[in-house]
Amino acid sequence: MRASMPVLFIGHGSPLNAVADNAFSRFLRELGKSLPKPRAILVVSAHWETPEPRVLTGEAPRTIHDFRGFPQALFDIRYAAAGAPLLSARVAELTGAGEDSRWGFDHGTWSVLTHLYPQAEVPVVQLSLGALSPRAHYELARKLKPLREEGVLLVASGNITHNLRELSGKEDAPAAPWAAAFDEKIRAALVARDLPTLLLETGNEEEWNRAHPRIDHYLPLLYALGAGEDSGSPSFPYEGFQYGTLSMRAVRYG
């Protein structure tokens, strides 16, 4: 019998992490070596938003460079993993998501996978963030649980705090006190499975707006929660900040 695959949330931070040799990229490299080999990977990235949930189809998705003003080395990256049409169909069956062959692997996906699986040997599918409420995202994620028993690794890619307006100019800048406090609040809520807090049904609106001027980078965390919660309390294999306001916390279930 195949063992249940883990579920990961990765705080991906700057696209520069794809080419960096730092504590975070080294963590991802070691994590990739320790994970059970998946049949395929399903990624939920902060960087693919659609009106309704969509699943990426096709046998050879393109690499998307969805940013400006970065070094040419980033634009030269091609993450050449194959698609997984059978997994795409399975995700559509479980969630009701529409199919999309035009998207590809955005940097929320390839900046992480280029370290986890540098040989791009595992097929990859993406599921978009539809325009749903936080609770609806969580409920959709719960529908993905069977994939864990089918050899699929779910990787959710975002950040627990993501305020680009208040970035420090230095990658190793100390965490802003408000960012550290918010990161700790979410960590504690995950341990306690405090759904009202995690699903934005309670809490200070000003606090949330500062941590997330846009909620896109938070929502992938709800996919890790929904798909992974049956494994009990999560672990946090990586903690830290980049540029003062980007929580790089990783969350693992199973």
Tell me the pLDDT of the chain (254 aa) as tens digits: 567 999 999 999 999 999 999 999 999 999 999 999 999 999 999 999 999 999 999 999 999 998 888 989 999 999 999 999 999 999 999 999 999 999 999 999 999 999 999 999 999 999 999 999 999 999 999 999 999 999 999 999 999 999 999 999 899 999 999 999 999 999 999 999 999 999 999 888 999 999 999 999 999 999 999 999 999 999 999 999 999 999 999 999 99
pTM for this one?
0.96
Closest CA to 96 of 52, 150, 43, 59: 52
For residues 217 and 183, the answer to whether their CB atoms sit within 8 Å is no
Distance in angstroms (rounded) separating the CA atoms of residues 242 and 14: 8
User: Which neighbouring-strand residues pair with 130?
Assistant: none
Q: How far is CA 82 from CA 7, 63, 120, 148, in A?
A: 21, 11, 8, 20
Between CA 110 and CA 116, with CA 111 as vertex, the angle to 5 degrees is 80
Does domain 7-253 fall into CATH 3.40.830.10? yes
